[in-house]
Structure 1
Amino acid sequence: MKKTTVFTGLVMLLCLASCEEHKEEKHEVVTFLVTNPVKKDTSITKDYVSQIHSIRHIELRALERGYLKNIYVDEGQHVTKGQRMFQIMPNIYQAELQKAKAESNAAEIELNNTQLLADGDVVSPNELAMAKANLDKANAEVSLAQTHLGFTSIKAPFDGIMDHLEAREGSLLDEGELLTTLSDNSKMWVYFNVPEAEYLDYIMSDAKQNNKDVALLMANNKRFNQKGIVETIEGEFDSETGNIAFRATFPNPDGILRHGETGSILMSVPYKDVVIVPQKATFEILDKTYVFVVDKDNVVHQRELTIGAELPHLFIVDKGLSENDTILLEGIRMVKDQEKIHTKLVDPTTVLSNLALYAE
């Protein structure tokens, strides 16, 4: 009776152990989500550090030597073309003009007298010609004196915004001394440097023919409310950086942008008929990017990729995959190369629409 009881107990223990093993086997079966790469047209937005310049930015300097008599404008003021800005003491130049006019009047009287004498054959034609030349010289001196006097009144050459005043009333100015700078901010030139490879992509694309539109990200991380157009490219590459300068023009109707600001140019670069994979499906080993490809027998194979560009949650693949491959979407840390797994195929469209969820 005791032997029977012991035997029965052993059988029960074996049965329980067998059940536990079956439970563990069932628990260990994991189904991995797989999908296919997508082949489609897309674009990425690249940003380039930029410098913002006024379309016209000039220095206003004293054209004559003298005391700065009047300042009619203030720093930061908007001035209009022809508006008087500075007055240099004009007394000397006014006196020179009066002297030149007096000499011109004397030369004119002399010419009239010589003309009367010439009409009566009293003087030779050469003397008449000399009198005319003296009058022309005197009139030229008048024009020169008027020009010098005009230089004492400095006016705005175009509509713009004044910068810092470099001199104050009463200052003794030398010829050519800086007074202020003037900026025409109606349009802005934004310069940014582009690497050689991206320059070649641009110059060989349709964008070159269509004056490519670009956006400007300002220093406060907000987009400028106007779009710009790439209008010119400089003639030479910088031998040190390998970059070439592009220039985009932006309208500035609200006067938001000022000369000397910085920002980032945002330029869309098109990619046609490229293979796209989720970044979540990739992994890196020693700076190389890999993905697990699942064959028809559900065996995973590690494959190296060449990444062409990066999008939010996506990679554009230059080499290594086609749209007909099946790749492991998640659980890449749970499998090994040449391992057979259970899979469930997820439609690539569904993957793309829920990409942020998969990336978490």
Structure 2
Amino acid sequence: MNLKFYFILILIIYMFSKCKNNEIVNNEDYNDISYDTIKVLTKKIDVNYFNKKILFNGKINYSLKSDLRFTQNNIISSIKTSVGEIVKYNQVLGLLENKILENSIEKAKIELQKAKYKFEEEKINFGNNITKSSFENLKIRSGLFEAQNNLDRAQIEYNQTILKAPFSGIIANLEKKEGDFITTADVFCTLINPNKLEVFFSVLENEFQFVSIGQEIEILSFVNNDESLKGRITEINPLVDKNGLIKIKAKVLSKETNLLDGMNVKVLINKPLKDVIVIPKEALVLRSNRQVVFTLEKGLAKWNYVEVAGENNNSYAIKKGLKVSDTIIVSGNLNLSHDAKVNATFIEKEVYIK
């Protein structure tokens, strides 16, 4: 028993000694580690002019859009178009039953010809001494005026059975079929011009000072947020509604927008801020859901909490947390910590956008 006991004791002492040696080696390895400085780009900041972008919700509308109706109640005899078809100005879109009106036109032409013959016969009786007043009276007595008026009326009624495009565009909302009875209150189809777009949005009273007629705006669709479209304000409603909003209308200047009538969009308007500290967006990082900008001091990165006063496409206006002439780190800051050693390269590039 004693021999077995001594053997186990020696084994325990040996294992303890080996672990101790490994710990010493590991500690020595740790102490030998040397960390390289992190390479960063820096920029000295100053106060500048800044365009803060104010966001509004808008809705797209076709400025050339019309619900087309016949001006007579009758049966649709023929439909000459279809949904989605591109039509030209004055192109025939649909016809109503008009056989009776065709007959009325022919009858009116016959009556007009009779009146002309009668007029010529009675004019002979006056010879060359006919006066202007007698000439007009003769037209009335012969029935020439009345016959011409009846023909014009018949032609107008016939033309009302033909529906034509009032402008070039695309057909939409065509739900009627040949043989349907249609009234003057029914919409036959909707004609739109997709190249004539407007956007409607509203601004608060305290933001009214930042909008004006002719001002350019940016339009972002929810379909493609990366695509920025251009627009120009054309109307400002001179009334404030019960919600304290002022209605604005703008023309969409960009072509081939892929926008449709009724689409919701975002509208951006520039709000000028003067004499503010402006930094590039790359200089700001998040730490524990707080906004942080690193500055450079004696080769070390310093952690600064900041408050943002506004932003645009690639810049921030800083309200609090930085001071003029600070040197900020604009690149290589994603994994920085406070008091980290950095190897800084100074850049001259401007960091704000007008």
TM-score grouping bracket, smaller chain normalisation = 0.5 to 0.7
Amino acid at match of 2:127: D
The aligned runs of 1:212-251 (5 Å cut-off) are 212-224=215-227, 226-238=229-241, 240-251=242-253
The residue that corresponds to 2:263 in the other structure is: 261
Q: Does 1:148 align with 2:157?
A: yes
Residue by residue over 1:189-233, the C-alpha shift from the partner in whole angstroms, topping out at 9 and shown as x without a partner, is 111111111111334xxxx5xx32222111224244642222221
| Alpha carbons 1:42, 1:271 under 8 Å: kept | yes
1:179 paired residue among 188, 193, 197: 188
Distance 2:220 2:308 in 1: 25
TM-align CA RMSD: 3.7
Residue by residue over 1:61-105, the C-alpha shift from the partner in whole angstroms, topping out at 9 and shown as x without a partner, is 011221101111111221111211101111121122112212211
Aligned residues: 271
In structure 2, do the counterparts of structure 1 residues 81 and 129 end up closer, same or farther at CA, with 3 Å as the change threshold?
closer
The residue that corresponds to 2:58 in the other structure is: 50
| Alpha carbons 1:215, 1:224 under 8 Å: kept | no
Q: Does 1:59 align with 2:67?
A: yes
Distance 2:56 2:146 in 1: 60
Distance 1:218 1:198 in 2: 22
SS in 1 for 2:211: helix
In structure 2, do the counterparts of structure 1 residues 80 and 349 end up closer, same or farther at CA, with 3 Å as the change threshold?
farther
The residue that corresponds to 1:92 in the other structure is: 100
The aligned runs of 1:109-120 (5 Å cut-off) are 109-119=117-127
SS in 2 for 1:167: coil
Identity over the aligned pairs, expressed in percent? 21
| Alpha carbons 2:45, 2:327 under 8 Å: kept | no
User: How high is the TM-score relative to the length of structure 1?
Assistant: 0.64
| Alpha carbons 2:66, 2:192 under 8 Å: kept | yes
Give the deviation of 1:171 after TM superposition: 0.8
Give the deviation of 1:353 after TM superposition: 6.3
| Alpha carbons 1:37, 1:348 under 8 Å: kept | yes
In structure 2, do the counterparts of structure 1 residues 46 and 124 end up closer, same or farther at CA, with 3 Å as the change threshold?
closer
Amino acid at match of 2:100: I
The residue that corresponds to 1:132 in the other structure is: 139
2:83 paired residue among 72, 75, 86: 75
User: How high is the TM-score relative to the length of structure 2?
Assistant: 0.65
Q: Which runs of 5+ in 1 are unaligned?
A: 1-35, 285-304, 325-346
The residue that corresponds to 1:191 in the other structure is: 200
In structure 2, do the counterparts of structure 1 residues 195 and 98 end up closer, same or farther at CA, with 3 Å as the change threshold?
same
Distance 1:188 1:196 in 2: 26
| Alpha carbons 1:78, 1:161 under 8 Å: kept | yes
Give the deviation of 1:354 after TM superposition: 7.4
In structure 2, do the counterparts of structure 1 residues 124 and 201 end up closer, same or farther at CA, with 3 Å as the change threshold?
closer
The residue that corresponds to 1:10 in the other structure is: none
In structure 2, do the counterparts of structure 1 residues 49 and 199 end up closer, same or farther at CA, with 3 Å as the change threshold?
same
